Amino acid sequence: MPLEAPLEPVSVRVDDLNRRYRHHGATAVLEHALADPQVGRTALVSSFGAESVVLLHLISIMDRTTPVLFIDTEMLFTETLVYQQELSERLGLTDVHIITPARDQVFLHDNEGLLHLHDPDACCHLRKTVPLQNALEGFDAWITGRKRYQAGARASIDFFEVENEARIKINPLAHWTPEDLRDYIDENRLPRHPLVAKGYPSIGCAPCTSPVRTGEDPRAGRWRDQDKEECGIHFVNGKVVRSKTVVG
């Protein structure tokens, strides 16, 4: 429902939210985020990947009518597509939006599906970043599954972040560890993504995701041997990771 009073600037609200909820746990942060008028209309963005079931389960308990945005890049593993359908039904999620890239833009910029081979940033921008930004129009905030233990640009994330003064990004699991995730999944008997058992602790598009060897960082299989850590839907130091190729 639209809010009756205009919201304060995003940066002001984020500072206030982090101050008020700094010492709360993940569940409390998520509950407050869904109800706090300073957050506004909120969607959960989920990849239905290796750890996604935790937030999806929490949302199904708190408010299963919460909009869930799933980006189908049209290059995902078949296992991910099947998992998305089965998990949505099992958890009773009632407002799942499957977002795909614009057909005309794919035809213009990646008609043969090979863009990822020579410009993975442009491929992510075309198939994931732009579709998500379009899908988020009308929302004041979105929930992510990012965690500090994933290191890199994620090592110091707060519960609430500014997204280019456009909206709030909410990271309820920011302080969770891999053990916390495993314990939650086991205790609630939740189904894991089928590729986890095959050595994929982090799962993206099929052409750009490989199994992870023992002792490697969990995200080592994402864009292996490339100077790339994020797909581009997340901001680093307040700035979006832009592609070198303009895809509009």
Report the pLDDT averaged over residues 135-162: 85
- Residues taking part in catalysis: 231
Q: Of 244 and 7, which is predicted with more confidence?
A: 7
The pLDDT of residue 219 is above 70: yes
C-alpha closest to that of 63 among 89, 91, 100, 83: 91
**The pLDDT of residue 247:** 36
| Residue range 20-49, pLDDT digits in tens | 998 999 999 999 999 988 899 999 999 999
The pLDDT of residue 202 is above 50: yes
Give dist(CA 72, CA 46) in Å, integer: 10
Percent of the chain with pLDDT over 70: 86
The pLDDT of residue 90 is above 90: yes
**The pLDDT of residue 151:** 60
| Average pLDDT of the residues of the chain | 87
β-bridge mates for residue 209, sequence order: 222
Q: Residue 8: which pLDDT band, with cuts at 50, 70 and 90?
A: confident
Amino acid in position 115: L
Percent of the chain with pLDDT over 90: 69
Q: Residue 242: which pLDDT band, with cuts at 50, 70 and 90?
A: very low
The answer for residues whose C-beta is within 8 angstroms of residue 232's C-beta and 6 or more apart is 121, 124, 125, 128, 129, 240, 241, 242, 243
The pLDDT of residue 149 is above 90: no
Domains identified in the chain and CATH numbers: 10-240 (3.40.50.620)
The pLDDT of residue 163 is above 80: yes
